[in-house]
Structure 1
Amino acid sequence: MSKNIKLYFVSLVIITLTSCSNLQQINALKPEADDATPIVYEATPSFINLPITINIHDIENKTNSILTGLIYEDNTIEDDDIEMKIWKLGPIKVRTENNKIITILPLKTQIKYRIGTKKLGIEMYDIREFNLNGILTLSSNFALHNWKFKTKTEIKSLDWNESPTMTVMGRNMPITYLINPTLKLFKSKIESKIDEAIEKSTDFKPNVLEALEKISSPFQINESYESWLRINPIELYTSDLKFKKESVQVDMGLKCTMETLIGRKPESIFNASKIALKPVSRIPNQITTNIVAVSSYNDASKIMTKNFQGQEFGTGNRKIKVQNVNLWHKNGKMVIALDLLGSVNGTIYLIGFPKYDEPKKEIYFDNLDYVLDTKSKLMRTANWLAQGIVLKKIEENCRYSIKPNLDEGKKTIMNYLTHYSPMPGVYVNGKIDDIQFQKIQLTNNAVLANLQITGKIDINIDGLK
């Protein structure tokens, strides 16, 4: 073998040995993932504005459906010397005037009035019959009592369609000048009848409870991670009635909790029998709800892998590049697996507590360190990589933004706050004022950022069935 060939082989061996001393393979023990169940957090009570708008036309329709044909009958004349029948002749009209309800009632009244006395066991009576046909106008003051409108009605006027008559010797004789003072005979009976009809026609409790039941049914806010928003009613508040054009508004407020749950669809915990109506002077209107921004480990791993692209870590000719990142949960901490290429090849494992950077809307890892087995092997094979200065530079790239998750969650919620109608006649509108971070939770496949949202929600219930 020539001298040149020998020299070539010697050089090749030296280069090979030198390369082997700089390129090291690490086989660290992989920390296996374990189960992670989200902790339960306390939900802060929220207050939802719940104005109930009842159209006067609805009250009119219901009153007409309750009062039909013969609306009052008293066939006993012995108790008060009066026997009376009252018929509704046409549709009742209802309107508002000066914060009162005005009812226009076309009626026909037949009154039998007994005149006479009973002396020494001898009855001496004369029964007269009055036939009245006119338009009765009534005025009602409104109040709210036990889910219904409580009215105090008074007769305002009676305009005759024809002159009142009295039967005398089989003939109808006009007695307008006599009959007007006799209105007091049936005044209280008509007034109470109208009060009863309006009370029955304005029972809005079934509408409110049906709307609350629909609203309390959990709805999905993220299909991929099976996250659900649930509203849990606690109490209902009500203030004074308000008249608005041709409607009556009942200002109500719902005290509730709002929470986000992960997994299969949760059950509604709405219980109508436990909802009480409490009068208050002012209705609060501020929601404080806990929601969850979900970031899967897979998505986070992709973002962090991009963070490491084009970067080298180390000193001098001892450097590594991170080719890929994987995340998973173990014992309440996050395991970060880094696939390395360079002076050290293989996978190393870091572990740390996930934290939230509020200004940057980023998840980062506090007290990030090598897993014990990884650290032990690095101390034997690549001590330079185990040093804190290199770990610090790696740590700077182990973070990722959840702003897209927050934006997506906010967008989803706004879909339910922009004229959302869970059922006919019920509309949900609102706005979000502020989002504040609360805590981090870990599941088997995602990081959950618990957030507290403040804002306002109005749930309008329009009309009565």
Structure 2
Amino acid sequence: MKTFLVVFTLLFTILLTVSCGTAKKVEAIKPAPSNDNPVVFKNKVSFISMPVEITLKELEQQLNKNVTGLIFNDSILNDDKTEMKIWKTAPIKLSEKNGNIISEIPLKIWAKFKYGTDFMGLNDTREINLNGIITLDSKTHLTNWKLTTTSKIEDFEWSESPTILVAGKNVPITYIINPTLTLFKSKISKKIDEAIDKTCDFKPHVLDALDKLSNPILTSEQYETWFKMVPLELYVTEAKLSKTKIMLNMGLKCNMQTMVGQKPKNGFDAAKIVLKPVEKIPDNTTVSVVAVSTFESASKIVTKNFQGQEFASGSRKITVQKVDLWQKDGKMIIALDVLGSINGTIYLSGIPNYNPITKEIYFDQMEYVLNTKSVLMKSANWLLHGTILKSIQENCRYSIKGNLEEGKQNMKPYLNNYSPMKGVFVNGTINDFEFEKVELTDKAIIAFITTSGKMDIKVDGLE
């Protein structure tokens, strides 16, 4: 009986020891994040074609709004023996000739003139009314956001030759009126140039369009993915006139961002936009986009990878219940909550990288952080074996292939005649995304992606 008790006690002690050994508590020190600042990340520059078009018909309409009624008034008779008032009698008509704007302006002219000599009062005055059409030839320029013109008189056609009745005869008086018309021609040219200058100020229209385009666009409601454009500079070529429209080819230098989470702010600052003249703007567009994965969302995906996975060495094994990710000193910290032969949290570090074949983010050069390594050497050195560490590393990855394709599909509606405001249309095509690099911030994993294609933001009209 005594022998039985001794054996029972010995077996109980062994079982207790084994039982305690299979559920050791790991208490490794948690590596603190570098800091808790908001997400800040770098952007690469993108260029987008931004043609601005104004039809001659629309310019014609705006000119007729700005040039109305009495357009010339000379009420002094004694300086040149002529008084004159001129009205626009019908709408101005615009056309194109040899790359210049041709303006036809129907006019009504009232004139009073003095003829004869002042000697002994041998003079008289006469009033006449006549109609004519003046034709202007205007060369276009682009100056400080404005379409300006330099106009000259191409022709002045009388509806009938101006005459007065003297002693029963029609006496031509063109020689009397024409000197005054010479002065009038320079003034009417200047007035039309001023009207075009006032009408064709592109700055408010372009800046308003850029402000609207800078509003973040929700591209995926499910993942709270936002696309945002940040304009930096505008490049512009000289204005060109075709048969029916005036064209300015602008190039927009901007940053493009893709963000995950709350709606970002519109940071557009019109005061910082500079218009720079250039000779040529390339047609092809290279778009640089950043895809932001918050540590929280990435942690959830990686946690799913470990479901149903066991990591074993002989009879010892663990399962991963939860994964948390954060950044410390430029490396990713991977915290694994484990159950099994040991219980607790172990910490590893790695450098995020990208596999272009599988389109996955993974963590390279993975190793246990120093304190965790020291703890495991004392309590569970079997986890330090390279095969187990490699198996853990294989699960610490997540694919962004679907995100890239979804991002491409989500962008398509905004590249097919998308209009954020009246008169502004966005069109374009994009090729497959190409991954460039991964960077860490204090809040997220930033994937830099580039794609080529063509994109234009058309500003159509002056309203």
Whether the aligned pair in 2 keeps the contact of 1:22 and 1:318 (CA below 8 Å) is no
Alignment CA distance shift 1:391-1:103 (3 Å) = same
SS of match in other structure, 1:240: coil
Amino acid at match of 1:108: K
* Matches of 2:342 and 2:273, distance apart in 1: 65
CA distance in 1, matches of 2:226, 2:393: 30
Q: 1:464, CA displacement in angstroms?
A: 0.9
Q: What's 1:111 paired with?
A: 111
Q: Any conservation in 2 of the 1:32–1:330 contact (CA below 8 Å)? A: no
Which sections of structure 1, spanning at least 5 residues, go unmatched? none
Query: What is the CA–CA distance in structure 2 between the aligned matches of 1:330 and 1:142, rounded to whole Å?
Result: 57
**CA deviation profile, 1:352-379 (whole Å, cap 9, x unmatched):** 1331224132222233222344333332
1:270 to 2:265 alignment? no
Q: Residue type matched to 2:203 in 1? A: K
Alignment of 1:402-413 (within 5 A): 402-413=400-411
Change (3 A) 1:400 1:97: same
- Kindly provide the amino acid, as one letter, of the partner of residue 68 in structure 1: T
Relative to 1, partners in 2 of residues 1:249 and 1:320: Cα closer, same or farther, differing over 3 Å? Answer: same
Kept after mapping to 2: 8 A contact 1:44/1:257: yes
Query: In structure 1, what is the equivalent of residue 359 of structure 2?
Result: 361
The residue identity in structure 2 corresponding to 1:320 is K
- Amino acid in the other structure paired with 2:61: N
- Aligned twin of 2:383: 385
Instruction: Give CA-to-partner distance per residue, 1:42-68, whole Å, 9 cap, x none.
Output: 544433322111121221111111222
- Which residue of structure 2 aligns with residue 352 of structure 1? 349
Partner of 1:232: 231
Indicate yes or no: 2:15 matched with 1:20.
no
For the structure 1 residues 358 and 58, does the alpha-carbon distance in structure 2 shift closer, same or farther, using more than 3 Å as the test?
Answer: same
User: What per-residue deviation string (whole Å, max 9, x for no partner) do you get for residues 138-197 of structure 1?
Assistant: 44333333312313232335262xx345343699x766x764995564252443333333
Taking the aligned partners of 2:19 and 2:355, their CA distance within structure 1 comes to 46
Q: Within the alignment, does 1:55 sit opposite 2:52 as a pair?
A: no
1:449 and 2:444 matched: no
- Counterpart in the other structure of 2:336: 338
8 Å contact 1:130–1:164 — kept in the other structure? Answer: no
Correspondence for 1:186: 181
Q: 2:319 aligns with which of 310, 322, 336?
A: 322
In 2, Cα distance between the equivalents of 1:216 and 1:118? 71
3-state SS of paired residue (1:102): strand
For 2:238, what is the secondary structure of its paired residue? strand
Provide the C-alpha distance between the structure 2 equivalents of 1:150 and 1:351, rounded to a whole number of angstroms: 69
Q: Distance in 2 between matches of 1:106 and 1:43?
A: 56
For 1:20 and 1:298, locate their aligned partners in 2 and report how far apart those are by CA, in whole Å.
36
- For residue 461 of structure 2, the aligned residue among 447, 460, 463 is 463
Are the equivalent residues in 1 in contact too, given 2:415–2:426 (CA < 8 A)?
yes
Residue 203 to residue 300, structure 1, CA distance change in 2 (3 Å):
closer
Length, aligned pairs only: 452
- Residue 29 of structure 1 is matched in structure 2 by 28
Q: CA deviation at 1:207?
A: 1.6
- Look up the equivalent residue of 2:76 and give its one-letter code: T
How far apart in 2 are the matches of 1:38 and 1:358?
A: 28
Instruction: Please show how residues 277-288 of structure 1 align to structure 2 within 5 Å.
Output: 277-285=275-283
Amino acid at match of 1:231: V
CA distance in 2, matches of 1:200, 1:295: 48
Equivalence map 1:4-153=2 (5 Å)? 16=15, 20=19, 23-29=22-28, 31=30, 34=33, 35-37=35-37, 40-117=40-117, 124-146=122-144, 147-153=146-152
TM-score by length of 2: 0.81
Q: In 1, distance between residues paired with 2:135 and 2:390?
A: 86
Query: 1:112–1:129: 8 Å Cα contact kept in structure 2?
Result: yes
Q: Which moved more, 1:33-42 or 1:418-427?
A: 33-42
What is the identity, as a one-letter code, of the residue corresponding to 1:417? L
Greater shift after overlay, 350-359 or 59-68? Answer: 350-359
C-alpha deviation, 1:460, in angstroms: 0.9
Measured after TM superposition, the shift of residue 23 of structure 1 is 2.7
Segments of structure 2 that go 5 or more residues without pairing to the other structure are none
Separation in structure 2 between the aligned mates of residue 39 and residue 288 of structure 1, nearest angstrom: 25
Report how far residue 244 of structure 1 moved.
3.7
Inter-CA distance 17–313: structure 2 relative to 1 (3 Å threshold): same
- Give the corresponding residue for 2:436: 437
Deviates more, 1:97-106 or 1:283-292: 283-292
Q: 1:426 to 1:131 in 2, by over 3 A?
A: same
Question: Structure 1 pair 42/395, CA: closer, same or farther in 2 (3 Å)?
Answer: closer
Q: Which deviates the most, 214-223 or 454-463?
A: 214-223
Amino acid at match of 1:394: I
How far the C-alpha of 1:462 sits from its partner, in A, is 0.6
Task: Give the Cα–Cα distance (whole angstroms) in 2 for the partners of residues 90 and 324 of structure 1.
Answer: 83
| Aligned equivalents of 2:203, 2:263: Cα separation in 1 | 32
1:438–1:452 CA contact under 8 A, matched in 2: no
